[in-house]
Structure 1
Amino acid sequence: MRSLSHLRIAPLLNGLFAILLLIVLALLAQNLFAAFAKQREAAVVVETATTLRHVFNALQASRVERSTLRLALTDEAAASDKRLGEIADQRAKSRPAIEAILAACAQIDCGDDVLQKLEDGNRKTEAVRTESDTAIKAALDQRPAGLGDDWQSSVTGVIETLETISAKLGARIRLVDPFIGEQVALKDLGYVIRAAAGLDRNIVVDAIKAGGYTPDSLAKALLQRGQIDGAWPLVQDMAARPGAPEAVVKAVAAAKEIYFDGILPRRAEIDKALAAGQPSPIARDDWQSQTSAAVDAIKAIGGTIQRINEITTAIAAAVEEQNATTTEIARNVQQAAAATDSLNEGIREVSQSAAQAGTAGDQVFEAAKELARNADQLKREIEGFLTRVNAA
């Protein structure tokens, strides 16, 4: 009986509660890791969508500057203040966009070696810009020979790198939602058409100035026109599908009216006249001006999709995911703290109960011993009394 008084259940219960605590913490840790993974995934989507917007802005500004500065470099006269202002406006858009892209691609995967290519290409383009800025303020015969070709080559290299980044990031955005995927594909096709239309415009401008196409320039023009002819039916098909955003449908319809129904018939007139050895029915500067508006209409397709997808849908969904996962993380942390406090309190209460049970056991044992001593004493006194009675 003495041995029972030293039996303690507190250490056993403490051990059981410690095991339960470890199990609960392991489950909470698993939830926390999953929540952090979701948050990181959402953050990548936000970074990707934001970088795509910078790429879009850089592409549009670079393409416009490419044709505008090239025209200034091939003009007989010095560039006008208006043209200098147009070039400065496009650079004010492309430069900060490219800087943002360089910073973003240092943090996220934009494709193999594209960061270095963009840095090198941008550095080369800036050097040609500096030389060109001086050259276009002078007459054509005072400009360095081949500067127009150097500009065309350097800025086209930057544009092609930006297109590579756009394709890489666009593929990542496609994983977010099937609708976004289709719209990104439509935007990419719009890029193809806009780029080809811009290059074809430059080739026609040169042909008007020269009085005809060379075999090389005609081959380049046919290449660009083939890309347009191949991509445009796909754009029309995707814009005609049920559920296509109304803004996109309107942008495609405007591009058709302005470029395909308006500009291409005029280009055919120019080609016919030049092939016959006749002057172009449209002056060089007029063609540049007319096609700029048409190319802007094609650019509006991508711009509309950019606003719909990257800004509203992808970013909003990703931010919502971030908020949800952040809330989940906070809730899990609170649950872990509450569970730990509850278990600690339970352990304290059981320990106290066990200690009280042990104290009560000691008290009962001591009372039993006292009762036994009293019984022995009473027995001895009764036996003594009986002995004295018998002796009397």
Structure 2
Amino acid sequence: MRLPSLRLAGRIYAGFAIPLAFAVALAGYTSYALLRIEGASDAMGVLSDATIRMLGLEHELEVMRRAALQVRADNSDMAIQQGTEAAQRSVGLIETAVKASLSDERRAVLREIEAGIGEFQKHREALVAQGQEIAGERMALTGGGDALVAATSRMIAAARGSDSQSLALALAGLEKHMQTVRVDNWRTIANRDANGAAKFRKSLAGARAALTAIQQGDLPVDVLTAIAPIEEALSAYAESFERVVAGTDRRNAMFDYEMVPLIVRLQAMVASLQRELNAEFTAANATTAATVTTAITMQQAMGLATVLLGGLLAFLVGRGIAKPIRRITGVLRELSRGNQAVDIPYVARRDEVGDNARAAEAFRENLVHIQAAEAERVATEASSAEERRAAMRKLADDFERAVGHIVETVSSAATELEAAAGTLTGTAETTRMLSTEVAAASSQASSNVQGVASATDEMTSSIAEISRQVNESTRIAGEAVAQAEKTDGRIVALSQAAARIGDVVELITAIAGQTNLLALNATIEAARAGEAGKGFAVVAQEVKQLAAQTAKATGDIATQITGMQAATGESVAAIKEIGGTIGRISEISSSIAAAIEQQGAATHEIARNVQQAANGTSEVARTIAEVERGTGETGSASAQVLSSAQALSGESNRLKLEVARFLDSVRAA
């Protein structure tokens, strides 16, 4: 339908219904876009909270792993408490994450991690129980070692009254084997030497062989009596050692083949969840940015289209109504002045303007008829004057009925248009308020992400402190290695001094032998001298006895020196083993320091990603402000439409006044 074929009310309704429809569509789309942005912001907040929980869960799993490692090493109460508390915190984080998660699949993974933590706790409890059992066996092993040393010492003390050099050497060898057995035990238990058990069993067999060899000789009763306690102590010591080794092997197997793979699998699952959350956060951020960009573009386009179309329609409708009315008003003024030749336009139009023009045409025809009848009026003044006034009143009444309806229609339409424009202004204000609320929600999401960044920075500081402590442990281990090397040097010097003492003892033994030989020669010479040599023979006998005692004493000294040299050699080997152990501890500390540095770098990367996410939410907040500004522009445009509607209402009121004045002039004629 063409616009000129519409009546005035239809034109007015169409002129304001179309921009109003655009404005309503714009408001609806803006509300839809704001709801989408609000949903995306809420999702980003949920994802950021989930990321924080996953970071905390990863940290607690690492604490559980280190605590279990410490429990395996020393079964300390502090490590047990740390592991228990970390497991409790982990379960709390998982419960919170399950309640907040929107994904059934992710909730299933979290429940699986929770079950894995429970299984890990059961293994740790078994590890603690085995550690307590091993600790008891170690105490028994220590007591058995003390009993073995005491029994061996009693045998050596019993053998000191014997003059048998072979017994002294056999006892020195036995004592050496006993020391080797204890050193191999220490190497196995303390150093966790993989070959320690085999060395212990070999040393144990050597000690038993040495004890059997001693039993084969002609022994004093005290020495023979001391053998049985040594055999019993040695057997008990070996049994305790085997129980400790077996328990330690079971404990290590549980930790290495059950607990470590389990905690590694749980950490991998947490890392996978972190990657999923980061990907979802990035996607939500991109979706929010795209939605905001689309909303801004659509608002700008639809707002501009609404303003342009509203202005065009206001111009067309205003011109299509005001211009014809002004022309008809001019025609009516000319007719009121008696100008019958005036041209009456718009007679062919089918709207209110055409009705008004046709009414003016009828008025002109009536006016012609009135002027034609003027001659008759002169003849019949009384009757014609009354008839003319009646005709004029009838004409005015007819015109009022024809034109008044049009004016009332225009006025009513202007009033309705003004109300619609006010509604549009209210809708724009509501849209602006929604934009403000979403901007506040986006700012809150940005604050949450900033909180994630702050927590990650604190974790980075904690990792740096751990790295510093590990480096300090490495330095102390290095100092311990250096001190062990110095001790090794001192023990070597002591061994050399003992060797030199042995040389001196051999020299004394040789001198005693020579003295004994000289005393024997003196005795022979005294015997040859007869009575004159008896006094010399007594002196020679005393010298011989002193030489024999000296030889015996030097033999005892040689035995002790041999034992001291053997002990010194074992001490040198033990010190070297200690140095090697401390060196391995230093290497392990260095490896831990390197791992801590890698974890610190990973945490820094997480902090950087979280900071980027914070920047993204800040960008969302900025674009929401752009949406709010666009909504303000829409409100301004609707205010302009309201102003135009009010102006049209004023024009309709003026038209009503002009028609009233015209009718008054007609009735007064």
Q: Which has the higher contact order (CA 8 A, sep 6+)?
A: 1
TM-score between both structures, scaled by the size of structure 1: 0.49
TM-score between both structures, scaled by the size of structure 2: 0.31
